[in-house]
Chains A and B, each alone.
Chain A
Amino acid sequence: MTAYILRRLLATIPVMGVVAVFVFFLLRFAPGDPAAIIAGEDATVQQIAAVRAKLGLDRPVLEQFAIWVWGMLQGDFGTSIFSNMPVTRLILQRLEPTLALTLSTLLVAILLAIPLGVLAAARSRRLSDRLVMLFAVMGFACPVFLVGYVLIYVFAMKLGWLPVQGYVPISQGIWAWAERLILPSLALGITYMALIARITRASMLEVLAQDYIRTANSKGLTTGRVLLLHALKNASVPIVTVIGIGIALLISGVVITETVFNIPGLGRLTVDAVLKRDYPIVQGLIIVFAGVKVLVNLLIDISYVFLDPRIRY
């Protein structure tokens, strides 16, 4: 098994390599003169030259690529064009809100979606199943920002139960921190929940049709015991897979959710960097986000070994 984990670990290197090459050469092969575009409409020749030097566009391509990759391996993601701050520091400063938001979304989504999927499968083709499936179909169609604004409209503006926007660090009190995460987590999690609920239902339906479930039922086990111990455990591989695939939804959604709810995290950093065309920040964030995605997929692959003893590598 150690060999399998090692092999999977090695397989992430080419993927991250492609990501790095892609992001790096995007800057080189972008249509027009990226330095001029980044410097802005009314930049002088000197300003454009300064941006070009900062981006390393005046150096030979391979040399610059080597410098950039070598720096990243040491945790140096370059320097912001506008603030002149190290990108690594900017990212670390904004890490906490994003981490809080994604982890709470992950928790909320899994805790709500899996029971919904199990319920739908257990009461297949009845009203509760139809409602869960309706939710799943709607969840795929609703953009994150629409869900966010509807939640704000209902729970913050009309009912006044929760704050409209903003973020408070956890150091300023657990409740103040948590109450500002509820609506963003639900907004960010809606598509994710739809995905997980749908797969849970499908996977459970497949397992519930098996002979051993009939055996378990006929020997008089309670429905809850059959569903959770016999069925859900055997249905877990596709569910875990989709939880991993869905991380991509969370990462893309974070950028939008943080804008809707005014949360000063990595998503806001991305948007601000895009509006200022601060490419080194964008570049660094893409590497970080892609790295997280690759890492999560790695963990999912490894988890199969524990979830399903039949899988042996």
Chain B
Amino acid sequence: MAVTLASDEVGAAPEPGALLRFARFARRNPTIVAGSLLLAILVVLAVAAPWITADPFRQTPANRLRPPSEKFWFGTDRYGRDVFARTLYGARVSLVVGLSVAAIASVIGLALGLMCGYFKRIDGIVMRVMDGVMAIPSILLAIALITLSRPGLGIVITAIVIPEVPRIVRVVRAVVLAIKAQPYIESAIAGGTRTARLLLRHILPNTMAPLIVQATYVCASAMLIEAGLSFLGAGVPPEIPSWGNIIAQSRDFFQIAPWAILIPGAFLALTVLAVNMLGDGLRDRLDPRLARRM
């Protein structure tokens, strides 16, 4: 409490410096700052993994299923592999999957959403297809696609993108429908603005705030689905140390070596929490009307 009061006082000073401006921002948007900070730490750990940890693939049978200790911070798994190293490398998989799915689904969803919202003719058809895709539970849809393909990171990302696209389309389409009714769009049309320009310059910018918020939720959900798929043995190939794979490979040893499951699981939960916090914070900041409703 004292800290908050202090920054309150300095925040009111005539010309705040960069640090103080940040303090003020942090006080007003605690979830954005906390979420980003957590994520930043994870990104640093993931990128720096080769320099801070041992080889995540090296098997030392003599050190099988060791509990966390000074030498093995997070213990070892059934093959004597270092769980700390594997967990940090696992962060890479989760972050790559989360970000790629969010980016790809956003681009596809934005394009479809703009078209559906603006062109009535394709709206009916595309939205019926979206309803159908949304009726299939996402993890099952991904599973079906993976059953039919050779395992790999690319197919996992594709399999998660497909069920996530309708969530973006719906958000973008709703914004477009609302904006289209505004008088300034009418006047732009009357003024002879071409459709492409109208969509890109007059409508698209309005979709950005809700799109970014939705994309963070898609990112969080993608990480959870990826871990779930890997956990079921239907995700990224088993030799890649993703959090889901680490947990799946330790499943039969849970009663002897719970750390090999609980620690990577906690990392996953923390990452998803950070992304969700960032999303909630952005939502409150970018779209106050939506924030009140939740």
B261, CB-defined interface residue at 8 Å:
yes
A18, CB-defined interface residue at 8 Å:
yes
Given contacts A149-B261, A274-B147, contact A140 B276 (CB under 8 A): yes
CB pair B228 A18 closer than 8 Å: no
Interface centre among B144, B251, B258 (most CB of A within 10 A): B144
B137-170 Cβ-contact flags toward A at 8 Å (1 or 0): 1111101111111100001000000000000000
CB pair A145 B247 closer than 8 Å: yes
Q: Which B residues form the contact surface with A (CB < 8 A)?
A: 128-129, 131-133, 135-141, 143-150, 155, 220, 224, 227-228, 231-234, 247, 251, 254-255, 258, 261-262, 265-266, 268-270, 272-273, 276-277, 280, 293-294
Task: List 21 A–B pairs whose Cβ atoms lie within 8 Å, in order of A's numbering.
Answer: A14-B128, A14-B132, A18-B135, A19-B136, A23-B136, A23-B144, A30-B148, A38-B148, A141-B270, A145-B228, A145-B265, A149-B265, A153-B258, A164-B255, A202-B294, A255-B143, A274-B233, A275-B233, A277-B147, A279-B144, A283-B144
List chain A residues, Cβ under 8 A from B262: 146, 149-150, 153
Distance to closest chain A CB from B233 (angstroms): 6
Residue of B nearest to A287 (CB): B136
List chain A residues, Cβ under 8 A from B251: 259-260
Given contacts A153-B262, A252-B138, A286-B136, contact A275 B228 (CB under 8 A): no
Closest 4 CB pairs of A and B: A18-B132, A146-B265, A141-B273, A30-B148
B254, B266, B294: which contacts A152 (Cβ < 8 A)?
B254
Not counting A143-B227, A252-B138, A282-B140, a sample of 6 additional A-B residue pairs whose C-beta atoms are within 8 angstroms of each other reads A17-B132, A149-B262, A150-B265, A271-B232, A293-B135, A293-B137
A38 to B150 Cα, complex, angstroms: 10
A144, CB-defined interface residue at 8 Å:
yes
CB pair A19 B139 closer than 8 Å: no
CB pair B265 A143 closer than 8 Å: yes
Distance to closest chain A CB from B230 (angstroms): 10
Determine the interface band of chain A, counting residues with CB < 8 A from chain B.
35 or more
List residues of A (36-81) whose CB comes within 8 Å of B's CBs.
37-38
CB pair A256 B231 closer than 8 Å: yes
Distance to closest chain B CB from A230 (angstroms): 21
A131, CB-defined interface residue at 8 Å:
no
A173, CB-defined interface residue at 8 Å:
no
A32 to B254 Cα, complex, angstroms: 37
A66 to B251 Cα, complex, angstroms: 42
A230-255 Cβ-contact flags toward B at 8 Å (1 or 0): 00000000000000000010011001
CB pair B231 A202 closer than 8 Å: no
B128, B144, B254: which contacts A18 (Cβ < 8 A)?
B128
Given contacts A141-B276, A149-B258, A270-B140, contact A26 B145 (CB under 8 A): yes
Given contacts A26-B144, A286-B140, A289-B140, contact A144 B132 (CB under 8 A): no
A14, A37, A256, A289: which contacts B232 (Cβ < 8 A)?
A256
CB pair A143 B228 closer than 8 Å: yes
CB pair B150 A37 closer than 8 Å: yes
List chain A residues, Cβ under 8 A from B146: 274
Distance to closest chain A CB from B284 (angstroms): 13
A103, CB-defined interface residue at 8 Å:
no
Residue of B nearest to A158 (CB): B258
List residues of A (104-132) whose CB comes within 8 Å of B's CBs.
none
Distance to closest chain A CB from B182 (angstroms): 27
List chain B residues, Cβ under 8 A from A178: none
Residue of B nearest to A259 (CB): B232
A241 to B269 Cα, complex, angstroms: 26
